[in-house]
Chains A and B, each alone.
Chain A
Amino acid sequence: MEEERLKSILASLLFAAGEPVSLARLAAVFDDIPRATVQKALAAMAAQYSAENRGIVIDEVAGGYQMRTPRDHASYVRKLLAARPPRLSRPLMETVAIIAYRQPITRPEIEQLRGVDTGGVLETLLERRLVKIAGRKDAPGRPMLYETTDEFLELFGLKDLEGLPDLSEFREIERAVEQATTGPVEGIETHPEDSAAVAETTPSDESSEPPEKPLPRSDDDT
């Protein structure tokens, strides 16, 4: 199959699917085309679409490929659809962020971090399928463990958990501990499991922070 035809069919697949479709599933549609060829075609399409300002971009989201409208068309699309944007309250965002960076995590652990009861927010996150139960922790009471879902990645346009924005430097906390310690040093409590969890999700923590994306924020949010 020539590449142009492959790209054209891939466009149909992504359009019809709506949701992110993994490379494996896309490749499975074709009988005789190697996965690498499909991947190359997708990459070429993504570059082409954005270079030509087609009004549709192909993003890698939640472990798959998805056709989306570019962000700077948001106000027009919103007007047409009269869509209610997803409501994301601060407690909800805080909680989902904690789960995203620290998963799998129990409710008491989330509440320890936030300092407040989190039952209602967790319920909402489960209902909206941004979070799911990952099992139970092997600890007294066998508390449930929570983790984020593919829907979470899709909502925030993340390819995978590696794509989460970097947490601010962990070193800052160590510095704080040093500063706060005027007495004997032996009492410093370290939380190896904490730093491990952070290191796991943000391996690039050592390097300088990525520049904040200067994305335009439209003001006609109703």
Chain B
Amino acid sequence: MSNENEANTPPRLGADAGVRFRLPLYEGPLDLLLHLLKRAELDPHDVTASVITEQYLAWLELLDQLNLDVAGEYLVMAATLLLIKSFAMLPHPELADTEEAEELKRDLVERLLEYQRYREAAEKLAERALLGRDVFTTPGETAPEDADAKHYTVTIFDLVEAIGAVLKRVADKRPRSIELRDIPVAECIPRIMRALEGARRVQFAALFEDAGDRSVVIATFMALLELIRRREVRAFQEARFGPIFLERAAAGGMEAEWKKSD
């Protein structure tokens, strides 16, 4: 604060001031509403009580004054609360409006209650005997943390760089004949998975060894990116700038590893 005065900054730091922060205090408008209700010793059914609407809006204003970014969801909720309130204040509400207001309110109460249920469930889960916190087991060879620690995660840039090298190698092979082929990416996926099934891990470059031309290389690469995105395949290095390896990752990844080591 004092710093601000000294620096003779513009008196108002508005939305255009550049620096905005996000406050992780509340996990969204539903969380904030539940908090306000609890503090006011009210029930989710009373969410439309004007005291709650006022406090909600005051809170948003405070965030704005503190130069904290308010996520869009908070504003949508504010609009909903105000809309419900405005309906309630109409002197001669027509039937249609009342119905709409009731429906809005009902939806909101329902959402709050539902959210509350999952929040309670989350708390119950967190109280359970957690592996690594409350209970422990022998590390075996399968602890995921260990497996990850040994490896460096490969970024998309590493992969692009690696495919660049593969493409360069392919370009050197002069084609004897030119044929136009469409290679659907989807067809490459099972081929990659088959290659990974046979071995615990496969080197990135080896995946392209029998790919004759650029289009096959590119289609295979796109398929690989899709598999990585879907977390069915994991790319890693054992040393920085070392060769990139691929392994099956997703569900059952651990299971498969176990069976092989049997």
Instruction: Specify the main secondary structure of chain B where it touches its partner.
Output: helix
Q: Assuming the A-B contacts A115-B29, A115-B77, are A155 and B115 also in contact, with contact meaning beta carbons closer than 8 angstroms in the complex? A: no
The residue that B136 contacts in the complex, of A81, A97, A155, A189, with Cβ under 8 A, is A81
- Chain B's closest residue to A98 (CB) is B118
Q: Answer yes or no: B109 CB below 8 A from chain A CBs.
A: yes
| A-B interface pairs (CB < 8 A), number | 185
Q: Answer yes or no: B139 CB below 8 A from chain A CBs.
A: yes
Q: Answer yes or no: A149 CB below 8 A from chain B CBs.
A: yes
Establish whether residues A176 and B231, one from each chain, have CB atoms under 8 Å apart when the complex forms: no
For chain A, residues 73 to 127, give those with C-beta under 8 angstroms from any C-beta of chain B: 74, 77-78, 81, 83, 85-86, 88, 90-91, 93-94, 96-98, 100-101, 113-117, 126
Binds B, one of A1-9, A10-18, A36-44, A45-53: A10-18
Q: Assuming the A-B contacts A67-B138, A114-B115, A157-B129, are A183 and B99 also in contact, with contact meaning beta carbons closer than 8 angstroms in the complex? A: yes
Please, how many angstroms separate the alpha-carbon atoms of A88 and B119 in the complex?
A: 13
B contacts with A, residue count (CB < 8 A): 59
Establish whether residues A156 and B122, one from each chain, have CB atoms under 8 Å apart when the complex forms: no
Contacts of B99 in A (CB 8 A): 183-184, 187
Count class of interface residues, chain A: 35 or more
- Chain B's closest residue to A88 (CB) is B126
Please, how many angstroms separate the alpha-carbon atoms of A77 and B133 in the complex?
A: 9
Contacts of A199 in B (CB 8 A): none
Q: Report which residue of B102, B105, B114, B230 has the largest number of chain A beta carbons within 10 angstroms of its beta carbon.
A: B114
Contacts of B120 in A (CB 8 A): 167-168
Q: Which residues of A contact B (CB under 8 A)?
A: 15-19, 59, 66-71, 74, 77-78, 81, 83, 85-86, 88, 90-91, 93-94, 96-98, 100-101, 113-117, 126, 128-129, 132-133, 149-151, 154-158, 164-165, 167-168, 172-173, 176-177, 179-184, 187-189, 194, 215, 217-218, 221
Can you list 7 residue pairs at the A/B interface with Cβ under 8 Å? Answer: A19-B254, A59-B135, A81-B136, A97-B118, A115-B115, A173-B117, A183-B98
Q: Which residues of B contact A (CB under 8 A)?
A: 27-31, 44-45, 71, 73, 77, 98-99, 102-103, 105-107, 109-111, 113-144, 230-231, 250-251, 254-255, 258
